[in-house]
Amino acid sequence: MASQERIAVHNLADLKNTSDDAIPNYLNSLKFKQDHSLIDTRLALGYGAFAIAAACFAWDYKLGFEATKYYTAAAVAVYALLNGILTYWIGFVEKGTVYQGVAPDGSKISISTSTNKNVPIYNVKITVTPKNGAPETIELARSFTEWFDVQGHFIARPFQTVFATAVPLVAKADPKRVQAAAPVPDFLNADADVLDAIAASQSTSTGAEAASASKKSKRRKA
């Protein structure tokens, strides 16, 4: 079912943000429990910097610059420090992470996404850590056209199918969304002798057909 909201299909940021928002909606609907620690830390740093800036403005407005210049200098230093930490947090800790959570079986999952300029490809990095096992990383690169129609509507089902098919942890929670792989033709599993025999028979058949066609052509000319 397509979403009623529409986005500009040529706006890469809108395509990515809409897709990013769909990930927690989907996984949380499968009983995954989202971990908000990364987002909470980012919000705390951002609001902290804003609170310092607001306080600096307030005491300067009420008391004047001379009476508060030392406090203002300290506030500016703390503000710069908080913004530096926030920049580091976003670039080197979050690193594009849009979802962290725990699956019903206790496994942890972390999903980060990215895009390249002017390339409508959704790059997804999924790290799954079982309760008693080593982390496993799965990387996907899929076109946005797989789940956005030409009018800019987001279509949830193919988007969910991509994740359920590629990630066993998601497939376990939502098996109905797993897309079966195309069956492999039997002849691809045959040994070399069988393949040679098939090729020879096809070659013989083609030669016989050519000879027959040549005889018919000569009869028509006669």
Tens of pLDDT, residue by residue over 136-175, are 999 999 999 999 999 999 999 999 999 999 999 999 999 9
Asked if 139 and 205 sit in the same domain, the reply is: no
Q: Kindly tell me if the per-residue pLDDT of 33 is higher than 50.
A: yes
Average confidence (pLDDT) over 213-220: 49
Asked if 172 and 195 sit in the same domain, the reply is: no
Asked if 61 and 147 sit in the same domain, the reply is: yes
Asked if 17 and 52 sit in the same domain, the reply is: yes
Q: Is residue 96 within 8 Å of 122, Cβ to Cβ?
A: no
Asked if 78 and 124 sit in the same domain, the reply is: yes
Average confidence (pLDDT) over 34-60: 93
From 27-41, 54-68, 96-110, the region with the lowest mean pLDDT: 54-68
> What's the confidence (pLDDT) of residue 66?
86
Asked if 95 and 125 sit in the same domain, the reply is: yes
| Beta strand extents in 40-133 (DSSP E only) | 97-102, 108-116, 119-129
Asked if 208 and 152 sit in the same domain, the reply is: no
Asked if 215 and 157 sit in the same domain, the reply is: no
Give pLDDT tens digits for 195-204. Answer: 455 455 555 5
Gap between the Cα atoms of 75 and 44, Å rounded: 17
Structure tokens, 154: 């987001």
Asked if 82 and 107 sit in the same domain, the reply is: yes
Residue with tokens 């002798």, as numbered in its chain? 193
Asked if 102 and 125 sit in the same domain, the reply is: yes
Asked if 92 and 71 sit in the same domain, the reply is: yes
Q: What range does the domain containing 212 cover?
A: 186-221
State the Cα torsion 123-97-99-163 to the nearest 10°.
Answer: 10
Total structural domains within the chain? 2
Asked if 101 and 165 sit in the same domain, the reply is: yes
How many angstroms from the chain centroid is the CA of residue 34? 17
